[in-house]
Structure 1
Amino acid sequence: MVSPQAGSVLQIQSYKHNGNLHRIWENSLVLKGTETIVIGANDKTPVKESDGRTWTTREPAISYFHSKYWFNVIGMLRTDGIYYYCNISSPFIFDHEALKYIDYDLDVKVYPDMTWDLLDEDEYEVHKAAMNYPEVLNGILWKNVRILIHWVRQRKGPFAPDFVDQWYERYLTYR
């Protein structure tokens, strides 16, 4: 498997289960790229939605993608602390064009005090029915929600103390 090189800039593409493009983030800087983990950073990055709308991210963010887990994590550095937005998604793939994954609607928002909320369960149920998610996929996704929440509680991976701050410091050396 090909992996992006640290210091390179890549595009992140999010798809839906039916293969439709969902969202594109431009200009994410790769801080670490292996076959298993990609850690990226961006700040004020253009984002294009599938309906053509565009917007720009508001704050610096560190993104964490894993090739074995069905979620990715975005740590957003805000004035009152680090907020995490976690997408329940397929593991990533990288193909020279972009880092790609399938977004499965369920999201977990984690606050600076490490409390969390599960979001978009209704949207998940609608898409599960509309796109006919197999029951085995449903089981994988909910298992990974549990793993993700365990990581939050255990301060593991991107939720570890100083993880986001240390990668943000590395990002600043590239600017």
Structure 2
Amino acid sequence: MRSILFIIFIMATQIACHSQTTNNKQVMKNPYYSRTDTNILHVSNAEWKKILPPELYAVARENATERPFTGKYWDADTKGMYYCAVCGNPLFKSDAKFASSCGWPSFFEPVSNHSVIYKEDHTYGMDRIEVLCGRCNSHLGHIFDDGPPPTHKRFCMNSVSLDFEPE
């Protein structure tokens, strides 16, 4: 019985949106954040945990997912650029964003072939493709084959994993 409750707790933690507060923890300035540096980062999760706010750490480094329709960018339509909230890597142009009504920001293509990387994800009894930042290897979301032309892809991203700069 304990193991079943533990599994349910872990799944709820992974799926639920994490608190938007920092729980009074001191968050250090992120020395790895740059919108111009394209060097691949090799930073331990222990180091990221010291730097990132808890809600970003949970999604980006522990593969949690924010609840649908709760993220700040799921229905945003302002023109600009989306960056990795962990390291500043350019990820998506707003011109590639579309209204998918899934509850998360959706894009049909990344800004470049090196912006993101892909990894098989077989968690929760599903076969999916995880999308990671190409610079810091942080979890962004998943990609699906139900997007609009020209790619027919839907990059379903967590808002907390994204920074946005308007044009």
Q: TM-score range by the shorter chain?
A: under 0.3
More strand by share: 1
TM-score for both structures, normalised by structure 2: 0.27
